[in-house]
A and B are shown apart, each in its own frame.
Chain A
Amino acid sequence: MLTNTVASEFLYQFGVSIIESLLFILMLWINLLPEPFRDPFQFAFMQRALLTSMLVGCVCGVLSCYVVLKRWSLLGDAISHAVLPGVAIAYILGWPFFIGAFTTGTLTSLGIGFIERNSRIKEDAAMGIMFTGSFALGVVLISHIATSTHLMHILFGNVLGVRIPALLLTLVCSVLTITVVLMLYKEFQLYIFDPIQANTLGLNTAKLHYGLMILLTLTIVASLETVGIILVVAMLITPGATAYLLTNRLSKMILIAALIGISSSVIGLFLSFTYNLASGGAIVLVATVLFFLAFFFSPHQGLVQRVYRVKQRDIEM
């Protein structure tokens, strides 16, 4: 028992020192910026917020590509809402909240599949039932045990109040998710593009399916404190959708989506501090603006370019 505590204490200190070195590296870059951009990040809480939101933006961006291509937007919505009762139950039992969040998130996604397979109800209705049900349970539990400010923080996130343990959790979840995505890049690509081919190559598609679902849940848990439950859905769709309009390669799409996720987090955080806005909302709004920029001005898929091409064709004819 004693060695156990010593080991976990050591691991925790190790994580903290990694975070501190990451913050140090980040500040080296920040200090190169001109003064008005540099100033907000002199506060320790802003530095932590910056690192957290960059991690969340990156991991959400990466996962959002798979969500968009697999058409799992509604599933992301479902899992993120299903996380709420887990948070409440973990709070009551005094557990770390990510264990509860992860458990109810996974249970709900399994429950959706169970209802779908064992009745005539289709996937979208099954999702609607399961996620509203568990979300309602979460709201009831939280309203019973805590003040509405707590509920607001979980629903909408409060990145400015992130402390070291939460940051550590985000770091571990993000690193884990990104490592798995890199290692299983070709498997996931084939599974989403042509599941039957994945099957004929002897890949276990059921494992890939649930693996991707677990990654999704991990990402949502990691983003909980930053953008909150409701807005994490946006971060799990918008960067991927934006990148989808900009490229025809999955690898580039993942890279672009990660960059979009990071930059919208950073810009959103800066705006949130400067103009005293809700941080989660500001981050998602920046991501949405970036999406519409791509939607109108993308070199191949953009609306402007398409209209222009049609006009050109008309002139030629």
Chain B
Amino acid sequence: MLNHNQNCKSESYSVYSRNLSASYLGENPVLTNVNLKIPSSELVAIVGPNGAGKSTLFNLLIGTMRPLTGEIQIFGKSIDYQRYHNKIAYVPQYEQIDWDFPISVFDVVLGGRYGHMHRFLPPAWAGKKHTDIAKQALDSVNMLEFRHRAIGALSGGQKKRVFLARALAQNADLLLFDEPLVGVDRGSEQLIFQVLKKLRDNGKSIVMITHDITSAKKYANYVVLINRTIIATGQPNEVLNYDSIQPLHDWMFTPTPVNTDQITSKLITSISDKSGGCYDVD
């Protein structure tokens, strides 16, 4: 258990985890010994190759999956506590949504306000306060004029922007973004990161999961490199240098199977040589 002193300290981290591991029913752990101390009010990218446990970590952070061992704290409190207080927002991946669902763009964004509304009243009686916030959120991603459209009628980038607006409307402190750039055009990409940077400047914490190293380097100001455990954390320039990216890159784009253990050890040595075993933030 944490003592009181550490407990106070963990509040200054958006995500704090100790000895975290996770596995799917009856299988080998996907993540082991994950110790995270992600500072708050940063735009954080969690980067790793396919099968590195990125999505698992994401599921642990939203709370749809429970850890096998260890614990996670969001701003020093449990995930359940923060979820109940609407402090965690998330932007889903494209495949998770049924795009034929009969719902308008505006109603999707209003979904971000549901946690703030009265439990047993239909959203039509939500009141002007909530609809105004939803409209503002739509406006900030330039989607206000589309608000009466069906969600399925939009392009990939527009859909992402609508879900970003939903997260904005929720007014959460931690925003989780799963693969923000998959299926998104250039214009939307720029707009999305403009919005994210503005959020960060307003003191919100953003954690995005991506396999795209270029965009992580370009937009994030804090990077967590994972491959079944934390490999490195820190500034993008330190973590995502040529030596560390190269083995990852080979791995991601090599069509033939490679000896993963070898690469992992190579990766770990190459990074620890540079930063002296950087497993920790501070």
Contacts and interface: CB of A to CB of B under 8 A. Distances in A.
B92 A248 contact: no
A196 B176 CA distance: 12
A185 B123 CA distance: 8
Interface in B152-189: 152, 166, 170
Contact of A202 (B96, B104, B115, B122): B115
Contacts of A185: 122-123
Interface in B88-125: 88-90, 92, 96-98, 101-104, 107-108, 111, 114-115, 117, 119-124
A253 B104 CA distance: 12
Interface string A231-272: 000000000000010011111110000000000000000000
Given A202-B84, A249-B102, A197 B90 contact: yes
B114 A199 contact: no
Contacts of B280: none
Contacts of B92: 194, 196-197
Contacts, number: 83
Given A249-B104, A250-B103, A200 B90 contact: yes
B114 A186 contact: yes
Classify chain A's interface size. Answer: 20 to 34
A194 B124 contact: no
Interface of A: 69, 182-187, 189-190, 192-194, 196-197, 199-203, 244, 247-253
A contact patch SS: helix
Q: Name the residue in A69, A182, A196 with the highest tally of chain B Cβ atoms < 10 Å from its Cβ.
A: A196
Nearest to B149: A248
Interface of B: 62-64, 80, 83-86, 88-90, 92, 96-98, 101-104, 107-108, 111, 114-115, 117, 119-124, 150, 152, 166, 170
B contact patch SS: mixed
Contacts of A247: 102
A249 B90 contact: no
A189 B103 contact: yes
Contact of A251 (B63, B84, B88, B124): B124
A169 B94 CA distance: 44
B101 A201 contact: no
A249 B103 contact: yes
- Can you list the 10 inter-chain pairs with the closest CB atoms, starting with the nearest? A248-B150, A202-B84, A201-B115, A202-B83, A183-B120, A185-B122, A186-B123, A248-B102, A193-B101, A253-B102
Contacts of B83: 199-202
Contacts of B120: 183-184
Contacts of B96: 194, 196
